[in-house]
């Protein structure tokens, strides 16, 4: 097995393990603190630091990865996630809002260090075999990650019923610690490190394609999280009367299916040399139609369970293709030397969209129900499409 492929598989395996804990801890926090009597907006605010520090981490993390190597930033993210899991195992009397927000801040830093490191590594490990291999590798990495995040949602809900809140956290921390030790032994040092020491001011991209794509990414992921983070699970549990296992299992199946579609995007799109800027624009316009249609259906009194399940499936298919196209374009627009910093800048915008979407998910659901969340999602998806009109074609193997 060639070294690049072997290291790609190690990075992917570590990313998978981390992703399971990331999905599980989110489901654990949403369900457990809703059970403790927190309002939807209060539950959303528990994730405020998680998303805010994701913005900071992506901005600094790309620069740090370029200086010390992406393998070190990935391992740092895993270690911080273990610490975040352990911080939540304290007695209920300690679980104040500031304590939980602090643990979530560490988890947010960990998640974005790990994600930035894994995705930027793909550009380096794929070598110079052209855009086709790059599109396949990043689609498989991202799609499989999302499928396993869905598994993490289910695992979190199942562990909550089987082992309780603290038992679930301890199981997850133990599993990730073992994976951390294994990847530290298997990965070479210095992956993605620049030959020269980049200045911090270089993290801000001066390439218009990356700036347009980052702005579109902000609204694309805001469109998902406005209704997905708080509104959907609380709606399923409170309005439709689903159990924790049913809620976690359904969301898990959705994310798994979304990940499978994302991994299959190169084959579904039939673009051997990779998609272009107009591809992102087209699919974002299409995405905006589904939450708008779901909101109209609920307003007209259609059966809520049918509207939510059918709409969620269609939204997931189109969103998965959108996300796969974006994940490819950020790497295709980047040179090998600047990939860590460009990916960090891009995922800073991604984290900003998630932060905005998370806050709006709790706020809109509390004020206007799921319909308000869905209308917000439609507006954000439309903004992503409009911003994508500025994306250029991918020329050759790199834009810069």
165-208, pLDDT tens digit by residue? 889 999 999 999 999 998 888 776 655 454 555 555 555 556 77
Q: Could you give the residue ranges of the DSSP H alpha helices within the chain?
A: 3-35, 40-46, 48-68, 70-87, 97-126, 131-186, 208-228, 231-234, 244-263, 265-269, 277-299, 304-332, 339-388
CA distance 106 to 81: 7
Looking at the predicted structure, is the pLDDT value of residue 321 above 60?
A: yes
Q: Does pLDDT of 153 surpass 70?
A: yes
pLDDT band at 327 (very low <50, low <70, confident <90, very high): confident
Cα(81)–Cα(348) distance, rounded to whole angstroms?
19
Q: Residue 394 and residue 400: Cα distance in Å, rounded?
A: 10
pLDDT at 194: 47
Give the Cβ contact number of residue 350 at 10 Å.
27
* Mean pLDDT score across all residues of the chain: 80
188-to-5, 71, 184, 191, 224 alpha-carbon distances in Å: 13, 8, 8, 7, 36
Q: Which of 53, 134, 173 lies closest to 333, judged by CA? A: 134
Rg (CA), the chain: 20
Domain 3-187+208-388 classified CATH 3.30.70.1450? Answer: no
Residues 341 and 62 sit within 8 Å (Cβ to Cβ): yes
Which pLDDT tens digit goes with each residue over 244-301? 778 877 887 887 888 788 878 777 776 556 678 788 899 999 999 999 999 999 999 8
pLDDT higher for 119 or 362?
362
Q: Is the pLDDT assigned to residue 4 strictly greater than 80?
A: no
pLDDT, residue 337, reads 58
pLDDT number for residue 1: 47
The stretch 111-126 carries a mean pLDDT of 71
Model pTM score: 0.70
pLDDT tens digits for 332-346? 777 655 666 677 778
What pLDDT score does 399 carry? 41
**For the purposes of burial, counting CB atoms within 10 Å of the CB of 104, is it exposed (0-12), middle (13-18) or buried (19 or more)?**
buried
Report the distance separating Cα 190 and Cα 124, nearest Å: 11
Given a cut of 90, whether residue 315 has pLDDT beyond it is yes
- Tally of residues, the chain: 400
Whole-number Å distance between alpha carbons of 325 and 304: 31
Mean pLDDT of 233-244: 83
Distance CA 78, CA 113 (A): 9
More confident residue, 145 or 52: 52
Question: How far is the C-alpha of 17 from the C-alpha of 12, rounded, in Å?
Answer: 9
* Helices 277-299, 208-228: crossing angle, 10 deg rounding: 20
Lowest mean pLDDT among 17-21, 86-90, 165-169, 228-232: 228-232
Please spell the DSSP secondary structure of 348-373, one letter per residue.
HHHHHHHHHHHHHHHHHHHHHHHHHH
pLDDT band at 126 (very low <50, low <70, confident <90, very high): low
Checking if the pLDDT of 125 tops 70, the result is no
């Amino acid at each position: 097995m060639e070294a690049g492929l072997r290291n790609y598989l190690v990075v992917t395996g570590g990313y998978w393990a981390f992703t399971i804990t990331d999905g599980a801890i989110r489901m654990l926090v949403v369900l457990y603190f809703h059970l403790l009597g927190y309002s939807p907006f209060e539950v959303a605010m528990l994730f405020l630091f998680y998303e805010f520090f994701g913005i900071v981490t992506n901005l600094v993390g790309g620069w740090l990865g370029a200086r010390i190597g992406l393998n070190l930033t990935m391992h740092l993210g895993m270690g911080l996630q273990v610490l975040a899991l352990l911080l939540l195992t304290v007695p209920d009397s300690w679980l104040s809002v500031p304590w939980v927000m602090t643990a979530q801040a560490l988890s947010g830093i960990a998640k974005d260090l790990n994600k930035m490191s894994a995705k930027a590594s793909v550009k380096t490990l794929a070598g110079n075999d052209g855009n086709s291999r790059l599109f396949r590798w990043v689609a498989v990495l991202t799609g499989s990650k999302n499928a396993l995040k869905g598994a993490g949602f289910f695992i979190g809900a199942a562990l909550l019923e089987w082992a309780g809140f603290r038992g679930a956290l301890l199981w997850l921390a133990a599993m990730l610690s073992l994976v951390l030790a294994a990847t530290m032994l298997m990965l070479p040092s210095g992956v993605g490190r620049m030959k020269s020491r980049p200045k911090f001011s270089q993290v801000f991209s001066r390439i218009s394609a990356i700036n347009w794509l980052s702005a579109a990414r902000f609204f694309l992921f805001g469109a998902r999280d406005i209704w997905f983070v708080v509104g959907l699970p609380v709606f399923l549990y409170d309005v439709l009367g689903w159990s924790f296992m049913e809620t976690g299992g359904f969301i898990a199946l959705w994310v798994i299916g979304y990940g499978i579609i994302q991994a299959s995007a190169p084959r579904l799109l039939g673009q051997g040399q990779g998609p272009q800027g107009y591809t992102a624009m087209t699919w974002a316009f299409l995405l905006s139609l589904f939450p708008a249609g779901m909101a109209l259906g609920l307003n007209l009194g259609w059966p809520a369970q049918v509207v939510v399940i059918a709409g969620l499936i269609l939204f997931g298919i189109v969103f998965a293709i959108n996300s796969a196209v974006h994940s490819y374009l950020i790497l295709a627009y980047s040179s090998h030397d600047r990939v860590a910093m460009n990916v960090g800048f891009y995922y800073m915008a991604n984290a900003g969209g998630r932060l905005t979407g998370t806050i709006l998910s709790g706020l809109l659901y509390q004020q206007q129900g799921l319909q308000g969340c869905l209308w917000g999602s439609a507006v954000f998806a439309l903004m992503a499409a409009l911003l994508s009109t500025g994306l250029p074609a991918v020329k050759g193997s790199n834009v810069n």
